[in-house]
Structure 1
Amino acid sequence: MNRTVHLSPPDVGPLEESYLLAALRSGWVAPVGPDLEAFEREVAERVGTRGAVAVSSGTAALHLALLGVGVGPGQIVLVPTLTFVATANAVVYTGARPVFVDCDPRNGNVDVALVAEALHRLRAENERVGAVVPVDMFGTCVDYTALLPVCAEAGVPVVEDAAEALGATHRGRPAGSFGRVGALSFNGNKIITTSGGGMLVSDDTALLAHARHLATQAREPVPHYEHRHIGYNYRLSNLLAALGRAQLVRLDAMIARRRVLRDRYAKLFAPVPGVRLLGDEDGTGNCWLTSIVVDPGQAGWRAADLGTHLAGHGIETRPVWKPMHRQPVFAGARGFLTGAAERLFANGLTLPSGSALDDMQVDRVLAAVEEFVTAHTGATAA
């Protein structure tokens, strides 16, 4: 029986094994060690920032990043409504309130014009906006050329949620390097993985130093245990950092593999009416996940129909993120909405995109998609 084809399984092999074994044999098993320091340095070099702090998850990175720019109780933080819940949860951890902003339907990233409108209206209402948190959706960077001046004019710091976007760029500048601080994720399904983990990246070395302090239970540098601040057990372990270092060596090759798969999807769907690929219009994304958007009126079928068909063939798919303003936990939260995110949720489908998928698995996915398209349109996909 064929095994399930997953969306984005971890892509690990002999190189990762060798890095982990070396770290284990070195004796540096505890949270800090030379691989942790090297991983921070290497990621900062890749992103183009002055420094980095490795932590236990992307959510932890977002939490510390928000604290680092001064977000706290009584403030509002603008968050895309089309995102994973961690972006909004991290705001709540600080005591601030998320206010949701709708997306650009072309790529799912936050609607910059709507951010400008939200900042103007909130300022007129004397609301305290602590930060704007753009999310680089599915590995495609936000239009920072447009967004950064809007936030600068309002005097509001940018915390970039680049959890999905390591290796992507905007006008030649790497994801994670925009705004005052960025947050990366190394969860098991991300472009590179440390099993679980995340990282803050920034040019603000004082912010990073404070984040590192808070991430180690805010212990003061004295022989006994002394604490002046509430801290967190957020540091990444040295062993997981070793895994991350090996993954980082392979990052470009893994992005290239994902792009080949995205290009094959693009070719397959090109002759199919009412279907388009979401985002990455200029080819500068990292192709973390490839999603399609289906216009049922033109296509004659729904995205969910294709998902059901692929599930019957043991192939995992997933709808595009359910908007935060429709999540029960955020019922009643304020939003600046156009309906774009709800339409993407209704009509979007994320397809297997991982670099670990072998040629047989890729061919199996594409054959199953073509079978569905042919049966529903009477035309053969490319």
Structure 2
Amino acid sequence: MGGNELKYIQDAFDTNWISQYGSNINEFESVLENYLGNNSFVTALSSGTAAIHLALRLLNVEEDDFVICQSFTFVASANPVLYQKAIPVFVDSETSTWNLCPNALEDAIKYCLKQGKKPKAIITVSLYGMPFMVDEILEISRRYEIPIIEDSAEALGSTYKDKPCGTFGDLSVTSFNGNKIITTSGGGILVSRNQKYKDEALYLATQAKENRKYYSHSEVGYNYRMSNISAGIGRGQMEVLKGRISKRRENHDFYKEIFKNWENINLFEEPGKDFFSNYWLNTITIEGNNIEITKENLKRNFSENNIETRYLWKPMHLQPLFEKYKFFGSNVCGIIFDRGLCLPSGTNLTDGDKDKIRNILISFRS
């Protein structure tokens, strides 16, 4: 926590607004709208998953509609497609950003068109904080007139050509789950490009209650609104976001210095000057066929020293839940998953922690 979260929470208690109404929610949305700029309209919700679900509703995704989704992501990017009984079509990654491959995306669109249905949406992801290939994907979106739902759950503070992630989609999503770069304990936002979408999102997120003197409901709604307590935490967290991004990038520089002369370990990095990553997680891939230097051996070495590492996201097309759905690409994301590992990346890593990590890596290499 940054320090001021308790002040905003106390305000909620003092004014007796602790549920899904109150000034913290309004202020949190306003702060985010100013931070993102670019004509952003923010609706604070209970999770990033809820935001993706509402985005699909706003785009009228219905049963048996096609929705194109990046395979290399957390399951929350794809589950809401099934909520709507729609059909996910999974697309491979390219090697520079690990995100949606433009060539495979176009192949997927052409497949859907041959089935007689244009996809209702394309869900892009900025994986581990790395912006996707924005220009290329937006060009395809515009050419085929398919709206983009931008999943920037992991990418708050990242930019492409100096524009913030979370502002490139027709609808965009950010998460404030407990593991993200800042948190509201649990929560997310839906970022719209106009007030109409924001109003519709708020309506659906509050049980689709109509503006009458009595409770009246004509369509299905959801209990998706963020609480005033969570929004108070968010207000305090936004005050320290810049420092959190700086710390994560310092972590990346730390790993970059360690791995600069390693031939068989590649640190996932920005592919060019247009990309600015918050480096939410620092990840590596281990190349070659050295039987000693493997991700399993490295993971074990860390674990024996009470340090947690994690596997990369297992691609959706390799998950039992989604194995029956179409996948387009050459399994680039599957290969990355097989070779990759997430390293300690928290903003609270101390110099002592880093010394311990460095020593383990040095001993592993020798």
TM-score by length of 1: 0.92
Equivalent residue in structure 2 for 1:202, among 192, 200, 223 = 192
Q: CA deviation at 1:362?
A: 2.6
* Secondary structure of 2:276 counterpart: coil
Q: 2:164 & 2:3 partners in 1: Cα distance?
A: 28
* Secondary structure of 1:221 counterpart: coil
Q: 1:297 & 1:17 partners in 2: Cα distance?
A: 52
Pairing of 1:201-350 with structure 2 (within 5 A)? 201-282=191-272, 284-297=276-289, 301-350=293-342
Distance 1:32 1:327, change over 3 A: same
**Structure 2 unmatched runs, 5+:** none
Residue 139 (structure 2) aligns with: 149
Q: 1:353 & 1:309 partners in 2: Cα distance?
A: 17
User: What one-letter code is carried by the residue in structure 2 that aligns with 1:293?
Assistant: T
Which piece of structure 1 moves more, 183-192 or 125-134? Answer: 125-134
Q: Does 1:103 align with 2:93?
A: yes
Q: CA deviation at 1:257?
A: 0.5
Q: 2:210 & 2:351 partners in 1: Cα distance?
A: 53
**Structure 1 unmatched runs, 5+:** 1-11, 375-382
* Secondary structure of 1:318 counterpart: coil
Q: Deviations over 1:160-195 (max 9, x none)?
A: 000000110011110010121101100000011000
User: What one-letter code is carried by the residue in structure 1 that aligns with 2:293?
Assistant: W
Q: 1:135 & 1:187 partners in 2: Cα distance?
A: 16
Q: CA deviation at 1:281?
A: 2.8
Q: CA deviation at 1:279?
A: 3.8
Q: Does 1:84 align with 2:74?
A: yes
Residue 31 (structure 2) aligns with: 42
CA contact (8 A) 1:274 1:299 kept: no
Q: Does 1:362 align with 2:357?
A: no
Q: Deviations over 1:331-362 (max 9, x none)?
A: 21111021211111110000111112233223
Q: CA deviation at 1:70?
A: 1.7
Q: CA deviation at 1:51?
A: 1.0
Q: Deviations over 1:191-244 (max 9, x none)?
A: 110000000012122111111001001111222211111000000000110100
Distance 1:343 1:28, change over 3 A: same
Distance 1:16 1:356, change over 3 A: farther
User: What one-letter code is carried by the residue in structure 1 that aligns with 2:319?
Assistant: Q
Q: 1:26 & 1:370 partners in 2: Cα distance?
A: 55
Residue 190 (structure 1) aligns with: 180
The aligned length equals: 363
Q: Does 1:17 align with 2:17?
A: no
Q: 1:156 & 1:365 partners in 2: Cα distance?
A: 45
Q: 1:313 & 1:32 partners in 2: Cα distance?
A: 46
Q: Does 1:26 align with 2:18?
A: no
User: What one-letter code is carried by the residue in structure 1 that aligns with 2:17?
Assistant: W
Residue 162 (structure 1) aligns with: 152
Q: 1:105 & 1:99 partners in 2: Cα distance?
A: 20
